[in-house]
Amino acid sequence: MSDTGSDPSQKDGDTKLKRVMGPGLLLLFIVGDVLGTGIYALTGKVAGEVGGVVWLPFLVAFVLATITACSYLELVTKYPRAAGAALYTHKAFGLHFLTFLVAFAVMSSGITSASTASRAFAENFAQTAGFGEGAFGVTVISLAFMALIAAVNLRGVGESVKMNVVFTCIELTGLIIIILIGAWALAGGQGDFGRAFDFSGGEADKGLFWPVIAATTLAFFAMVGFEDSVNMAEESKNPSRIFPKVLLTGLLITGVIYLLVSVTAIALVDADDLSEGATPLLKVVEAGAPWFPLGVFGVITMCAVANSALINMLMASRLLYGMAEEKVLPSVLGHVLPNRQTPWVAILFTTALAAGLITFVGAVPDLGGTTALLLLAVFAVVNVAVLVLRSDKVDHDHFTAPLGLPYLGAVSCAFFVGPWTGRDPVQYLIAGILLAIGVVLWGATVAYMRSNDETPGGDDMSKLAQ
């Protein structure tokens, strides 16, 4: 594993975007993105699959994410540009169709997550404020909130990451409160640590392995988000040097927090009670500290979903910008505000897509599982891309994934995509519909670019295809 020295090629002049994210801001971006809302909602569902060993699927998901993160680190330090997985697919395989579908899958996961987070924010806001309740009111608040996110995004990446810092600190505080409440209650003789090693979920004839696999497909949604950070490479300072330590540190922090929260939860609330309802962690607070004002967690939840929407919209817009720069998407999506240095066309386009989802689709069932399904497929492609690009040399030092990890990452991600994991079939239906839309849009994109004398994929891809 080679770390990186100073990379002289990473100067402000090599990108149209503004480099504002140092190690601290990048770390908070990653921690805030991974924390998200998954742990708040998924702990109970995981407990329903595996009983007391609720922490084990989170541990497996953490290991799986870390293996794939090493492949992302090799590629982002080797090619420190916006667009992430789509860029790596573009460089490795040179197939415009495949690159477009990877970009569309990642964008879809981000925009659908942001749209759902926006609706969740609106529902919490309406309930807390006492007005705007009902389908129409929630939609209006959701659209207003998405417009606010777009305004912050357009204002500048500096303003966006500062807002992310605030939201991340609030999210982190909520989880730390739960851990401290659990420690205080357990020290006082409440709860039972022994439940953390009691497998009582799933079907008895399946043993432990397959229920843990099924639960990991749920828990993995709580670990996604680390991959969003590579789309911010052109707005990070010296990305080839800072990314390895920052990304791995961020994953370690979130992994430890998830394990502590899940062990605390099952020690204070038994698996059957934890698996009922949509707010499992509130049950932990009620059991360990019934005097604690639960309204505080309503505010924390609003901040968590707001942060999820902000980060996903940042990612989606930078993805489109990066692909426009690589000539995979129309060049108009690469236009940048001259003073703010933000990709304004990509921001407005992704905001319009999110607004359409909020208005005409609403909350998409099984969104979390579908998002994880799409990203696992993308992760498998990225792990293969690392191996394909090993022979491509660059003129600066970069991280190298330990021998064997990309192979393990490709196989494990492909395994978790399969139906044998117990994944709900509706997730494959939703993913299939999204990819079918992507195929139609690919055809429209190629036609549009050719009508404007643009070569889909650019000169480099055309050479690869020959």
Give per-residue pLDDT as tens, 283-315: 888 888 888 887 787 788 788 888 888 988 998
Residue 224: pLDDT band with limits 50, 70, 90: confident
Share of the chain above pLDDT 90, in %: 39
Residue 369 pLDDT: 76
| Average pLDDT of the segment spanning 40-44 | 77
| Average pLDDT of the segment spanning 230-257 | 92
Which of 56-65, 74-83, 105-114, 238-247 comes out lowest in average pLDDT? 105-114
Highest mean pLDDT among 73-82, 107-116, 227-236, 369-378: 73-82
Sketch the domain layout of the chain as residue ranges. Answer: 21-465
**Tokens 């304004």 belong to residue:** 344
Residue 241 pLDDT: 93
| Average pLDDT of the segment spanning 425-430 | 86
What CA dihedral angle connects 96, 101, 106 and 111, to 10 degrees? Answer: 110
On the question of pLDDT at 9 being above 50, the answer is no
Q: Supply the mean pLDDT for the chain.
A: 85
Residue 304 pLDDT: 84
Share of the chain above pLDDT 70, in %: 89
On the question of pLDDT at 221 being above 60, the answer is yes
On the question of pLDDT at 57 being above 60, the answer is yes
Residue 203: pLDDT band with limits 50, 70, 90: low
Residue 246: pLDDT band with limits 50, 70, 90: very high
Half-sphere exposure of residue 322: CA atoms within 13 angstroms, side-chain side:
32
Query: Is the pLDDT higher at 454 or at 321?
Result: 321
Q: Which pLDDT tens digit goes with each residue over 125-145? A: 887 776 666 778 888 999 999
On the question of pLDDT at 320 being above 70, the answer is yes
Cα–Cα distance for residue pair 242/398, rounded to 1 Å:
10
Residue 366 pLDDT: 60
Cα–Cα distance for residue pair 464/457, rounded to 1 Å:
10
CATH number of the structural domain 21-465: 1.20.1740.10
Residue 383 pLDDT: 97
